[in-house]
Amino acid sequence: DGGITQSPKYLFRKEGQNVTLSCEQNLNHDAMYWYRQDPGQGLRLIYYSQIVNDFQKGDIAEGYSVSREKKESFPLTVTSAQKNPTAFYLCASSIGILAGGDNEQFFGPGTRLTVL
Amino acid sequence: DQQVKQNSPSLSVQEGRISILNCDYTNSMFDYFLWYKKYPAEGPTFLISISSIKDKNEDGRFTVFLNKSAKHLSLHIVPSQPGDSAVYFCAARSDWNSKLTFGKGITLSVRP
């Protein structure tokens, strides 16, 4: 059945290491998004992609990088340049503006990243 | 500069009563608004939405009201149930962009 997969659920890394979080969707959605959630901060947009091979910075892109080589995949790399990487990371997808419609975003279960 | 504001961090109501969750926005370009519900350590799930051409949208126990002149929307849950206890996020977007802007969320607690 269709959905968004994020793995792993929990991830631990040492400070100074880059880490890549995976996000896969089989909903045939054009658009994909990465958010970060911190206590009391709500959801803040890191990067988003409205179509394959294209992506835009969100509100807090510094220290992160993404790629969108395939429609179903939108991996996020948390680099050592990110000053406060410990957070709950959420991936989402939507039909996309180009397809019209309500364009609601559907979220994955999230990855809790802890940098030690 | 927060474009979507949920000024009350928490709300507690008795089971069976009405829950009213408020949201304000500042960007007049927003024309589509959504509410998401989130449990701890899970991704948010879509609850209900409203387009700026409407002032009310209803789905079962959930109703969203939009007051464009006041740049204010509210989510009403009637009757409230203990399973409604979660964090509720208000979100908004412009028609030309799929990007959503979220509020900080409000934690709803429904007491049995």
pLDDT (tens digit per residue) in B68-96? 999 999 999 999 999 999 999 999 988 66
B52 touches chain A (CB under 8 A): no
Residue B89 contacts A where some CB pair is shorter than 8 Å: yes
* Mean pLDDT, residues A71-97 taken together: 92
pLDDT at A72 over 80: yes
Q: Tell me which of B4, B27, B98 to substitute to probe the interface with A (most A C-beta atoms closer than 10 Å).
A: B98
Residue of B nearest to A88 (CA): B41
Residue A98 has pLDDT above 80, yes or no: no
Is residue A54 predicted with pLDDT exceeding 80?
A: yes
Q: What's the length of chain A? A: 116
Do A102 and B98 count as a contact with CB atoms less than 8 A apart? no
Average pLDDT, chain A: 91
Q: Which residue has the tokens 């206890």?
A: B85
The CA distance from A96 to the nearest CA of chain B, in Å, is 6
Q: How confident is the model over B28-54, as a mean pLDDT?
A: 92
Summarize the confidence of residues A39-52 as an average pLDDT: 90
Q: How far apart are CA A28 and CA B62, in angstroms?
A: 29
pLDDT at B98 over 90: no
Task: Please give the residue of chain B at the shortest CA–CA distance from A101.
Answer: B95
- Using the Cβ of B112 and the Cβ atoms of chain A, whether some distance falls under 8 Å is answered with no
Nearest to B66 by CA among B56, B81, B80, B76: B56
Upper half-sphere CA count for residue A55 (Cβ side, 13 Å): 24
Mutate to test the interface with B, among A27, A43, A60 (most CBs of B within 10 A): A43
Q: pLDDT per residue over B52-67, tens digit each?
A: 999 999 999 999 999 9
Burial A40-57 (b: 16+ CB within 10 A, else e): eebbbbbbbbbeeeebee
Predicted local confidence at residue A86, as pLDDT: 94
- Tell me what the mean pLDDT of segment A11-40 comes to: 93
> Using 50, 70 and 90 to split pLDDT, how confident is the model at A104?
confident
Q: What is the pLDDT of residue A95?
A: 87
Average pLDDT over residues A83-92: 94
Closest CA to A44 of A12, A76, A81, A90: A90
Query: Residue A102: pLDDT above 80?
Result: no
Mean pLDDT within A19-28:
95
Q: What is the 3-state secondary structure (H, E, C) of B61-85?
A: CEEEEEECCCCEEEEEECCCCHHHC
